[in-house]
Structure 1
Amino acid sequence: MAYLLPTEFVTKMVDAGESKVYMSTRDTLIRAFMAGAILALAAVFAITVAVKTGSLLLGAVLFPVGFCMLYLMGFDLLTGVFVLTPLAWLARRPGVDIPQILRNWGLVFVGNFAGALTVAFMMAFVFTYGFNIEGGAIAEKVSGIGEARTLGYAEYGVSGWLTIFIRGMLCNWMVSMGVVGAMISTHVSGKVLAMWMPIMLFFFMGFEHSVVNMFLFPFAIIMGGDFSVMDYLVWNEIPTALGNLVGGLAFTGLTLYSTHYRTAPKRQLTSNTATTAAPVSAG
């Protein structure tokens, strides 16, 4: 596969962040909706495989198919824009400011959540034949996950909240590595391989991904999980999203930016910026 040097793909990261900030409200919402929906389908697919085969590892191996699909289609996840858009601000790209970045994050959050929630209702309908029967083993498994990852954390108070936060950090460290990994190659096969490895790792290790959780927990509640919407928000979604932001930006975005973009020769950055202006998706 064709390989790009770090100074080249980090410039692509900055370009991608700039393009996200300037994207229209309509396009941002549509791309985020589709990303949330596809990742939700991938999550239920991986859980179905794990339940039916008894192998969590096999589910983790197959889960990245959803991430690869949404990235190659140019759709956007909250975890990706958390990492990319601040880099455009740090690089002083014209017109990129904090309010615009926050606007982008808010729109992507809404779109991701709408897409994930839509799939949650669709899959609940499918598993129950229109809510006429029990959801079966898969619904029971997801309900158990929902309870364990809300009430299970709440049982430990502040330590539980910090545990979710750190799991969120570790998650987006890996997920953002997948986003960046896809930029190191100009071939589809190379992009897929680079994305597959870190996404598989995060899923198997049970790290917390804010967009995956936008599907899992509403689906668990619909299927009878014994926890509330407030439990989900306070004891999972909020600390997970914050952890995703800190982990992806600190461990991936800022480390690559500070050691490759800021230290690259000025003429190389100017050349790369002029030749890599095409939009890039954010996982």
Structure 2
Amino acid sequence: MAFSKPEKIMEITVENGGKKTKYAPLQTMILGFEAGAFIALGYLLFIRVTAPLPVELQGLSSLIGASVFPIGLILTLLAGGELLTGNMMAVPLARFAKKVTTRQVALNWTLVTLSNFVGAVFVAYFFGHLTGLTETGPYMNQTIQIAQHKLEASFLQAFLSGIGCNWLVAAAVWLSYGAEDMAGKILGIWFPTMTFVAIGFQHVVANMFVIPAAIFAGQFSWIEYLHNFVPVFLGNAVGGVVFIAMAYYHSYKQKEDHLKGKAIVQPIMKSGSRY
């Protein structure tokens, strides 16, 4: 499986980050909806796989669930989608390289946040609530327990958890850009994503599914969800911007050659001058 060196991955990521800001708003919203739904479906799969496990296998439930969750990010990156956590790395990297403006970064994040939320809540309501996939038997208990655990975290805990999450998710996106074939991209995405899920870090888009799913089941409130959304969003932003985009930009950017393009100025001799 062929792959690119980090210096080349940075160039690819800068290019991709710039392209993301050039999409028409409707295109961004459609792709954002797809990504939000894909992540939600990955989380729904997590719940459906882990909830029925017998008590003696509960210790393995996190690992088992984490091993299937990455399907959401794989679909987003390979089939097509605009995911907030990935854009929190790629678009700022293009900004550091002066390919886009701060306004373009802010607009992209806003459109993708809104469309990711709509996609995730769509899955939570229509598949989780109306179809009953998160509101029957052990599945409902699992959904509520997961949401409760996330909502019980303090602001600082949720913020730090968000940093850890997007440090890994942004790394997964970085690796996928560096792989040159589909198998390599899947492997690059799979393991960092599986790691953040198994650890239990908080992902702002994944939470857009599981907490509303619990709300639709009659638990918790939208105000409680908002109290979780803010620190996780901020933590994910720091994880993507600082720990991947900024770190790798300053590590792998091309060093400026101060002599490149610098004209060599020769003294102008006047006619008849003597030295």
Normalising by structure 1, we get a TM-score of 0.85
Q: Contact conserved, 1:135 with 1:223, CA < 8 A, in 2?
A: no
What residue in structure 2 maps to residue 261 of structure 1?
253
Q: Does structure 2 retain, via aligned residues, the 8 Å contact 1:113–1:211?
A: yes
**Gapped regions of structure 2 (runs ≥ 5):** 259-275
- Find the residue that maps to 2:218 and give its secondary structure: coil
SS of the residue aligned with 1:183? helix
1:262 Cα deviation from its structure 2 partner? 3.6
* Equivalent residue number for residue 131 of structure 2: 126
Q: Given the alignment of the two structures, is residue 110 of structure 1 paired with residue 104 of structure 2, yes or no?
A: no
CA distance in 2, matches of 1:31, 1:173: 23
Q: Which amino acid aligns with 1:190?
A: G
Partner of 1:144: 145
2: CA distance between counterparts of 1:137 and 1:217? 16
Residue 72 of structure 2 is aligned to residue 66 of structure 1: yes
Equivalent in the alignment of 2:105: 101
| 8 Å CA contact 1:124, 1:219 repeated in 2 | yes
Residue-by-residue CA offset, 1:231-256 (whole Å, 9 max, x unaligned): 1111x111000000001111111111
Distance 1:264 1:170, change over 3 A: farther
Deviation at 1:264, TM superposition (A): 8.4
For 1:17, the equivalent position in structure 2 comes to 17
If the length of structure 2 is used for normalisation, what is the TM-score? 0.87
In structure 2, how many angstroms separate the alpha carbons of the residues matched to 1:189 and 1:117?
A: 30
Larger mean Cα displacement after TM superposition, 29-38 or 69-78: 69-78
Give 1:258 shift. 0.8
Higher Cα Rg: structure 1 or 2?
Answer: 2
Residue identity matched to 2:138: A
Alignment of 1:202-281 (within 5 A): 202-225=196-219, 227-234=220-227, 236-263=228-255
CA separation of 1:21 and 1:140: change in aligned 2, threshold 3 A: same
Find the aligned partners of 1:170 and 1:250 in 2 and give their Cα distance.
12
Higher relative contact order (CA 8 A, sep 6+): 1
Query: Which amino acid in 1 is paired with 2:146?
Result: I
8 Å CA contact 2:133–2:139 kept in 1: the answer is no
> Residues 67-86 of structure 1 correspond to what in structure 2 (within 5 A)?
67-86=73-92
Q: How far apart are residue 128 of structure 1 and its match?
A: 6.9
String of CA shifts for 1:79-125, please: whole Å, max 9, x gaps. 011111112122112xx211111111000001100000100011211
The alignment yields a C-alpha RMSD, in angstroms, of: 1.7
Q: Distance in 2 between matches of 1:265 and 1:66?
A: 43
> Whole-Å Cα distance in 2 between the matches of residues 263 and 210 of structure 1?
35
Corresponding residue of 1:50: 50
**Distance (whole Å) between structure 2 residues aligned to residue 39 and residue 84 of structure 1:** 18
Alpha-carbon separation, structure 2, partners of 1:88 and 1:175: 18
Quote the Cα distance in structure 2 between the aligned partners of 1:74 and 1:264. Answer: 35
How far apart, in 2, do the equivalents of 1:192 and 1:110 lie? 27
Contact 2:62 2:197 in 1 (8 A): no
